[in-house]
């Protein structure tokens, strides 16, 4: 799954659509080159969402039940609802709160920094969101620009 790893919206328009992608807001690349995204660990004994953050690759995430970031918690960090909306092996489903292994850190972890700047994104048409993300990317410069992680091999010619 690319959830929380690659932004599903921010990509150039035209012939390069889908070929150039952006990392999601909280994603990082580990020492082996795999993209990881953070999750809050759920204590299995107490069924309490902890502040411990674990970064998981897509393969690691596949074996865990991950609750959504907007799941309702009480003041002690436990799930309020008996059935929690979650992801398991790439499918959105509901499972008992006792089955949760992790919880998303933020609802914005699925999109890039530029896309997260779009107000009321969930109400936008997908084409408008794409155009808005590209305009935000041009309008908000990076503080520390970096070279891309993956190149074509013809970079030295350009």
Q: Are residues 43 and 99 in the same domain?
A: yes
Predicted confidence at residue 155, as pLDDT, reads 65
CA distance 63 to 17: 31
**150 or 111: whose pLDDT is higher?**
111
What's the domain range around 132? 1-26+108-141
CA distance 9 to 24: 10
The CATH number of the domain holding residue 54 is 2.30.150.10
How much of the chain, in percent, has pLDDT values that exceed 70? 97
**pLDDT per residue over 78-94, tens digit each?**
999 999 999 998 889 99
| 121 is a domain residue | yes
pLDDT above 70: residue 15: yes
**pLDDT per residue over 63-79, tens digit each?**
999 999 999 999 999 99
The number of folded domains in the chain is 2
| 155 is a domain residue | no
Q: Are residues 98 and 46 in the same domain?
A: yes
**pLDDT per residue over 113-141, tens digit each?**
888 888 888 898 988 988 888 888 888 77
Predicted confidence at residue 158, as pLDDT, reads 57
Predicted confidence at residue 114, as pLDDT, reads 87
Residue 118 zone, left/alpha/beta (φ > 0; ψ -120 to 50; rest): beta
CA distance 4 to 37: 6
- Last residue within a domain, chosen from 57, 79, 105: 105
């Amino acid at each position: 799954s690319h959830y929380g790893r690659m932004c599903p919206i921010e990509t150039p328009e035209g012939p390069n659509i889908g070929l150039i992608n952006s990392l999601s807001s909280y994603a990082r690349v580990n020492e082996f080159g795999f993209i990881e995204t953070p999750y809050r660990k759920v204590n299995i004994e107490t069924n309490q969402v902890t502040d411990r953050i674990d970064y998981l690759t897509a393969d690691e995430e596949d074996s865990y039940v991950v609750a959504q970031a907007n799941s309702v918690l009480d003041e002690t960090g436990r799930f309020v609802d008996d059935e929690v909306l979650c992801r398991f092996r790439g499918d959105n489903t509901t499972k008992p709160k006792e089955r949760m292994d992790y919880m998303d850190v933020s609802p914005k972890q699925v999109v890039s920094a530029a896309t997260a700047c779009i107000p009321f994104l969930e109400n936008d048409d997908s084409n408008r969101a794409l155009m808005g993300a590209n305009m935000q990317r041009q309008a908000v410069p990076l503080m520390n620009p970096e070279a891309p992680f993956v190149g074509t091999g013809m970079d030295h010619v350009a």
